Structure 1
């Protein structure tokens, strides 16, 4: 039974006339009469006593009217509540960030919350946003690198480049490599990708080299610390290493070397299954993360 058919029945019961309802809805009287007859046929019940002067409800019709009236009120309340939520986002959003997420991303999230005080955001650091999406009940996740096949929607946030960096103490001890292949003889720190792959095969405009890590980690912060302490050189995203290069704490090895850029994506389920708050946060991060990285 359609909602508009139930509402039509209530209108006829309250106005007591097909003609009055037809006038109210700007429909032919015959249309109203036929639709009420269809309802009665579907229920196999006579709802109205018809006379030449007026309509009146049968006992079963009165009971049905009472129940339908309550049901329509509950339905309208539910719709109004949903509209209120859509006008002012509230509730909880769970976002997954990779261990490589820049601190400025967390700063952006706290700024976003100031505009929407009725929202609560839970930030989780995840090593595999696709696997963790279901296991941890995420609404949104950031993903760095290659996109595996998935039913999730992935929107590109930005591209980022990587450079090989080392501390001046490291260079003093091991020297500066004159070509990429000399890197295979020097101690390196390498990143372990979320899928378990070790990032030790580096493709560049000067060729491909396999480096030999003395330290392997899935933490960019640890990689950076190892490099700053002079224990190894490493391949770091510019967004993390540039501030230290600019301050003279790190140097770029083989500065004319270039590597393929990587991508940062924001990942989420189908649009019709996310809350308004999550939708707002997605659009906000898409616009603000590139700006924040550029300024960092």
Structure 2
């Protein structure tokens, strides 16, 4: 039995939470995975996993062996990378998950520069506002906006997202413009709800030391940023949108800013990846690349008070992407 392979499969089974998901992720027959784990237990003369028809769990010996396996496998990968060109030329499949609102307008247009720099990396890019489970779903890293819940993930802050209150002219023509956040209680608002918990998000406003945070009435609640933007454009109500998303629609006149003097709390943006894992070269270079991309991206510097003309925004964005590409060359 290949002991290192058995260790890798054991770790994958624990991380995936079952034999079937582990076998699928490694493209191996489930019977092969089960046999290798049984042989591993027989060779060690200990029981590593408690098995039921619905789930698995680690025994006390299994938990200790799992931690040892993580360290051993990380050391092996470090040794391999130190003797090869993997670190300089990372390769392989990289699974990344990003919010829809960031992926379509900001990340995907910049990816040609990433692939030009790292031609041996193949990426699977998931775009959704659903918070994925990185361990269970086999995702290498993810970009997340907002405060992070307590978790075992390593997080690196890569930027800040600013938001504004806005509505379509067709909506304000029918319902007027609010002059104060409390006026929104008499308006129709487009709410956003968590894809994970189903809970509606509160709205927050701040000005000169005065602060409000409350839930607003609305006929529709949405859990996807593209659909949320579409609802605002359709005149369905007042919305709270990221500045980088609203700018093109301000330029075209499809949306207008409301409550200009009031600030919405900015949201932190992080790239996250599992701890107790070797940070592979492909994950490392992606983390560095996206950190640099967002550090200087003109769209993320926009606040409610300023939105450049279309030609200025296009030129600034192209210049920023060119600068990132040159810095990595």
Q: TM-score range by the shorter chain?
A: 0.5 to 0.7
Structure-2 change in CA distance of 1:81 and 1:264 (3 Å): closer
Equivalence for 1:100: 101
Q: What is the distance in 1 between the residues matched to 2:103 and 2:81?
A: 40
Matched, 1:237 2:237: no
Alignment of 1:218-257 (within 5 A): 218-257=223-262
Matched, 1:184 2:189: no
Q: For 1:12-51, what per-residue CA distance to the aligned partner results, in whole angstroms no more than 9, with x for missing partners? A: xxxxxxxxxxxxxxxxxxxxxxxxxxxxxxxxxxxxxxxx
Query: What is the aligned counterpart of 2:127 among 119, 125, 135?
Result: 125
Q: What is the distance in 2 between the residues matched to 1:170 and 1:135?
A: 43
Q: Report the secondary structure of 1:109's partner residue.
A: helix
Structure-2 change in CA distance of 1:86 and 1:178 (3 Å): closer
Asked if 2 retains the 8 angstrom alpha-carbon contact of 1:153 and 1:270, the reply is yes
Equivalence for 2:92: 91
Asked if 1 retains the 8 angstrom alpha-carbon contact of 2:168 and 2:254, the reply is yes
Asked if 2 retains the 8 angstrom alpha-carbon contact of 1:200 and 1:213, the reply is no
Structure-2 change in CA distance of 1:126 and 1:82 (3 Å): farther
Equivalence for 2:288: 283
Shift of residue 195, structure 1, vs aligned partner: 3.5
Specify every segment of 5 or more residues in structure 1 that has no aligned partner in the other structure, as ranges. 1-74
Matched, 1:273 2:255: no
Structure-2 change in CA distance of 1:81 and 1:262 (3 Å): closer
Structure-2 change in CA distance of 1:189 and 1:108 (3 Å): same
Equivalence for 2:112: 110
Alignment of 1:1-296 (within 5 A): 79=80, 83-103=84-104, 104-129=106-131, 131-196=132-197, 198-205=199-206, 206-270=211-275, 273-292=278-297, 293-294=299-300, 295=316
Q: For 1:150-204, what per-residue CA distance to the aligned partner results, in whole angstroms no more than 9, with x for missing partners? A: 1211011111211110011100000011211121121111112344254442221
Number of residue-to-residue matches in the alignment: 219
Shift of residue 147, structure 1, vs aligned partner: 0.7
Specify every segment of 5 or more residues in structure 2 that has no aligned partner in the other structure, as ranges. 1-75, 301-315, 318-329
Asked if 1 retains the 8 angstrom alpha-carbon contact of 2:81 and 2:87, the reply is no
Q: What is the distance in 2 between the residues matched to 1:198 and 1:79?
A: 46
Q: What is the distance in 2 between the residues matched to 1:201 and 1:115?
A: 41
Shift of residue 128, structure 1, vs aligned partner: 4.5
Q: Report the secondary structure of 1:225's partner residue.
A: helix
Asked if 2 retains the 8 angstrom alpha-carbon contact of 1:167 and 1:228, the reply is yes
Asked if 2 retains the 8 angstrom alpha-carbon contact of 1:152 and 1:268, the reply is yes
- Which protein shows a greater Rg? 1
Structure-2 change in CA distance of 1:128 and 1:224 (3 Å): closer
Q: Report the secondary structure of 2:97's partner residue.
A: strand
